[in-house]
Structures are given as C-alpha cells and as structure tokens.
Homo-oligomer: A and B are copies of this chain.
Amino acid sequence: MRSENEPSGQKARSFIEEARRSQIVASAVEVIAEVGFHQASLARIAQHAGISKGVISYHFAGKDELMTEVVERTYGAIAEHVLAKMAGLESATQLLRTHVMSVAEHMRGHRTQIKALGEIFYNFRAPDGRPRYGIESSEEIYLSLERIYRLGQETGEFRQFDPRVMAVTHSAAVDTMFAYWMAHPDHDLDAHARELADLLERACAK
C-alpha cells in the first residue's frame, strides 16, 4: 500500500503515479455510470482500463479511496465550472438563473461523470452501513444556495420565505433535471433549465 511509504502524508505523487490514478478514476467513472455502483467491481474497472486488478490496489488503499477520489474530482469539476460562470454577478436573480443554467450546461458535456457521481452519492456506504455521502454532505451546496436566496431577500428582490427549503428544493430540482434527462436523452435540457429558472424565480418573487 502506497501510504505505508509516506508517513508524513504529503509527499508529492510522481507523474506516473498521477497518470495511473487518473486512468483508474476515469475507468471507474465509466464503469459505474454504465453498470451501477454495486456492479462496478474492481475487476470490472481494471478490465475496462486494460490493467490488472492489482494495479488498483497498489495505487489506492482500497475501493473506498478510489470512490472518494472519483467524487472529489468529479464534484470539483462541476463546482469550478459553475463558480466561474457566477463570478462577478451581483443580483440574486441573475445568480439563481446562472446557477441553474450553468449546471445544465456542464451536465450536457459530462453525462457519464455526473451519472457516476450520483451512483456513488446514493450507494456508497461506510462499513458500518451508514451512507458515506448522505444528504448531510449536501450541506455545502445548501449553504451556497441559501446565500443567494438570502441576498435576494436582503436586496428586496425576493419575498420572505425559508431559504433552507428553497435551497433544498432548488438543489433537488437540479439533480432531478439531470436524472430525467439521462432517462430521456431526447428531452430538451436547455428548455428544462430555463423553465426551472423561471419556476424558481417566480417562487421567490414578491
């Protein structure tokens, strides 16, 4: 196991190692998206990547670490894209609409990754049986969205409502927009996003 060699914890990974990790993560994403979390065995992931099972064990402490890495990379990519789009905007309405639209935008180009992300969020559990990423781990998102809704209330753009309920609903609506689109690939994602933005905007309006 790699970590045995790095008691200090932070030694930089070699280029080769980084490449292997990326390759394995990519393979994991594809396999999970295709066959689901539980059918995505290390054997299948290795086979899909064209490497031996042992390689995965060598580069990752276990299946858990691999899954965690998938989540971090995939989730990070969404956040990066969305935050870039929202940077500089000042009105709550604009922020709200931009969030919905930019997530949809990102979805279109990253179906597989987001599918895999959802599978892991929903299925990955600690050895004690408790979900590793329960809804608790959405707290960060809820806080971000709440900030937008609170801003709108402060500026007077929005009526008074419970920002937490709005954030939870907003988040759920966006996630399900993705799931619906995955199940109905001909569905017009852009139109859905626009309708959803309207919906949320009106729900907040005074």
The minimal Cβ–Cβ distance linking A48 to chain B, given in whole angstroms, is 11
Interface of A is mostly: helix
Q: Is A88 an interface residue (CB 8 A)?
A: no
How many of A's residues come within 8 Å of B, CB to CB? 54
Which residues on A are within 8 Å of B, measured CB to CB? 3-7, 34-36, 38-39, 43, 46-47, 50-54, 122-123, 125, 129, 131, 134-136, 159, 161-162, 165-166, 168-169, 171-173, 175-177, 179-180, 182-183, 191-192, 195-196, 198-200, 202-205
Q: Give 7 new A-B contacts, CB below 8 A, not counting A135-B182, A166-B199, A202-B203.
A: A5-B43, A123-B123, A135-B180, A165-B196, A168-B176, A169-B196, A203-B203
